[in-house]
Structure 1
Amino acid sequence: MKPIIRVENLGKEYRIGLKAEPYTTLRESLVNAARRPIDALSGKGKKNGDDRFWALKDVNFEVMPGEVVGIIGRNGAGKSTLLKVLSRITEPTTGRIELYGRIGSLLEVGTGFHPELTGRENIYLNGAILGMKHDEISRKFDEIVDFAEIEEFLDTPVKRYSSGMYVRLAFAVAANLEPEVLIIDEVLAVGDTAFQRKCIGKMEDVSKNEGRTVIFVSHNIGVVSSLCTTGILLHKGEVGAIGPIREIVSKYFEIDKSDTDDKVRVDILNEEELWTTGKILQMRVAWDAGLFRDGCVCDLAFYTVEGTKIFGLESHKLMDNRVIPGGKTEAIFSIENIGLVDREVRVDVGLKRDIGSNYDVLVENACSLSIPSAGLYDYKVDDSIIVPKASVSV
């Protein structure tokens, strides 16, 4: 079978930090012109601040028809740049892309629609851009409007839409106008939870039942793991790994931890990593002595493997709103399981200098736990958050 997407030696370079030239007189310009050959020979002719940044470097991969591919990586890894190149929004600096068929893409909020046109007009405009005839678009029109849930505002200019309304219409257009390749960025996070689930269901339907290709970027690793079959890991603009999504997710967490493993360590102090109902879990977070000389705050966040947050703990709330004193290099959390059963749980750890500041260190998937069924209480994870009994010692 022939790949629907083939990427070969792809690179994208951006020019950054170019400083504006100061105003010069005619006399100064003539003098500079006379000196330029001499400066070039002596190496003085280089402009300060003319830096170049490679957002993508030597990227190679293939995608088969009907495949659902998740692209994951840390912020700045090049994910959004890759999607823009695949969507033909920006041209690559090096390499080539072979892509067969129509592309429906949903990237940044604000792209793809003309703000002065109504929702109705933008539906027909996008269909025309995809190469569809007016009759083809009309046959899909009601389906798009029903999915987007914006019938009341259909004849309102989209510049008056909220970001959520915009995303609903944009996704409905991208998914329902029958593109061979559907490209979706993290923009779905703008919508409400119910609509996000609706979009994920549509992407599954498009790939499994209609045989179309989906390229998906999200920081919600649980959604990526459940939706995608293949993963591409980007790290600093390069392909770190390609393969089955579960393997790629594991590699992603390994890379993410490797940047902080020398500074932060997380250990389960219990003999068994089985956290049954009523049992106290003891988790130690240790950090480098020079990392927080004036004290810090240590936070834990517990998630299902699907990416649903179960609960979070903040050290200052367990210490009468105080930070961990300077000179301390570890915190031990004691957490009672009040009813979680029969699931795998992953834990993220965040460290920051003060209560209201941003995290200085964030370790995703710092550790994982198995919670067996105890036959007692069965806590079903939904959109609510539980807070167990917990304490911290330093």
Structure 2
Amino acid sequence: MSEDIILKAQNVSKQYRLGVVGTGTIAHDLNRMWHKIRGKQDPYLKIGAVNDRSATASSNYVWALQDINFEVKRGEILGIIGKNGAGKSTLLKILSRVTSPTTGSIKTKGRIASLLEVGTGMHPELTGRENIFLNGAILGMTKAEILNKIDEIVEFSGCQMYIDTPVKRYSSGMRVRLGFAVAAFLEPDILVVDEVLAVGDAEFQKKAIGKMQDISNTSGRTVLFVSHNMAAVQDLCSRVLLLEDGSIVYNGNVEDGIKRYLESNLSHQAKVNFDFDSLDETSIRSFCLKNESGEISSNFKSGELPVFSIKLFFKNRLNNPSFSIRISDAFGANIVTYRSLYFVNSPLSDVKTGEYELQIKPEKLYLLDGLYNVSISLLEGKVPLDIKKDFIS
């Protein structure tokens, strides 16, 4: 590795046997041993399903990771994103040496501190203070070095009152606070953080992200950060890896990586027909999005005005029916909401029973280039009758 590269993964793959612990049978173990004695490849590396958690198992083996290759520079903050089950945690466990790869190798320089789950590295019977010394010793620090940092660790964690209490009596948030403080302040060369910050409160998350930025910018230390909070990834990381089904599908710019991840979770439907029972329910029957030419489309130029077309069915006459359309960005932040009850001449003020079609065209709607979600709802006054969320972009 060059001087600037602190971590390198080469052809890393991890295979698991489904349904049982270990290899599963003595016959498989003996077969592996026989091939190893003869200097041949493990016969079970040639089989195994792709790591798609939603698919029906087609093999006794699955590749949690397959052919992972990447490098991390010193001082870089690398975000690792992907759906649940994509292989993010497995990759971090291999990098942290919690488990070993089936094939491939990991090369690192310096000490690695990991926070992979709530309470990682914490002995529940020991006090918070004792756990600080235990973790420091595991990282190869002397008692004097730990004593020099312990006041900062305790202050950052916000657990001063409980620092001499056994960790088993801590809440999950307190364990994360102390665990992160230990991992960050004992100055590892590589800090690995896997989603645990989501357990902490808003104040702690802000402090933790600020601390990770600080140790990267001022100390030149490396951070590997896994999170489903795309806003945190965008603020913190300088590069992202996107994992899908155990493989890297994107390695590069943060904004482009997040956009690709979010696009994979959106349906991009411009017209939706909803299931309904015409005899039993007041409901939204269908929704479509049209451009100014009247064509159904989910793609618009910035500044182009969409037309929202909605079909509704009313079983009974409502006293005060209303309808709303909510547009939010890819991170879930609300951009604008249109509600019929805010208009002097509400389009639903005189409805009785039966089916109605509404068309709503905003007079002004200025959106930047990007992905947006649309949610619609039907209400009686302010009481929801039918809600359809985030089905279109």
The two structures share one fold, judged by TM-score above 0.5: yes
Secondary structure at 1:101's aligned position in 2? Answer: coil
Query: Runs of 5+ in structure 1 lacking a partner?
Result: 20-47, 287-297, 321-326, 368-394
Tell me if 1:220 matches 2:229.
yes
Indicate the RMSD between aligned Cα atoms, in angstroms: 4.1
Hey, what does 1:13 align to over in structure 2? 15
Match for 2:334 among 288, 307, 310? 310
Shift of 1:116: 0.5
Hey, what does 2:98 align to over in structure 1? 89
Q: Deviations over 1:106-146 (max 9, x none)?
A: 11113210000000000000000000000001100000000
Secondary structure at 2:207's aligned position in 1? Answer: helix
The residue type equivalent to 1:8 in the other structure is Q
Q: Hey, what's the Cα distance between the residues in 1 that align with 2:235 and 2:137?
A: 33
Tell me if 1:252 matches 2:261.
yes
Is this contact kept in 2: 1:71–1:79, CA < 8 A? yes
Which structure 2 residues correspond to residues 43-54 of structure 1 after superposition, within 5 A? 51-54=60-63
Tell me if 1:72 matches 2:74.
no
Q: Hey, what's the Cα distance between the residues in 2 that align with 1:18 and 1:49?
A: 15
Hey, what does 1:239 align to over in structure 2? 248
Shift of 1:256: 3.2
The residue type equivalent to 2:135 in the other structure is N
Q: Deviations over 1:307-342 (max 9, x none)?
A: 463379899xxxx9xxxxxx99x99787899xx999
Q: 1:268 to 1:141 in 2, by over 3 A?
A: farther
Q: Hey, what's the Cα distance between the residues in 1 that align with 2:338 and 2:100?
A: 45
Match for 1:160 among 146, 166, 169? 169
Which structure 2 residues correspond to residues 380-391 of structure 1 after superposition, within 5 A? none
Q: Hey, what's the Cα distance between the residues in 2 that align with 1:285 and 1:209?
A: 54
Q: Give the TM-score normalised by structure 1.
A: 0.66
Is this contact kept in 1: 2:302–2:369, CA < 8 A? no
Secondary structure at 1:11's aligned position in 2? Answer: strand
Q: 1:17 to 1:192 in 2, by over 3 A?
A: same
Secondary structure at 2:265's aligned position in 1? Answer: helix
Q: 1:126 to 1:333 in 2, by over 3 A?
A: farther
Match for 1:206 among 203, 215, 218? 215
Q: Give the TM-score normalised by structure 2.
A: 0.66
Q: Deviations over 1:333-388 (max 9, x none)?
A: 87899xx999788534689xxx99xx9x976xx54xxxxxxxxxxxxxxxxxxxxx
Is this contact kept in 1: 2:302–2:368, CA < 8 A? no
Is this contact kept in 2: 1:18–1:51, CA < 8 A? no
Q: 1:4 to 1:121 in 2, by over 3 A?
A: same
Tell me if 1:113 matches 2:138.
no
The residue type equivalent to 1:309 in the other structure is A
Which structure 2 residues correspond to residues 10-49 of structure 1 after superposition, within 5 A? 10-18=12-20
Match for 2:112 among 100, 103, 106? 103
Q: How many pairs align? A: 306
- Identity across the alignment (%): 46
The more displaced of 211-220 and 266-275 is 266-275
Secondary structure at 1:85's aligned position in 2? Answer: helix
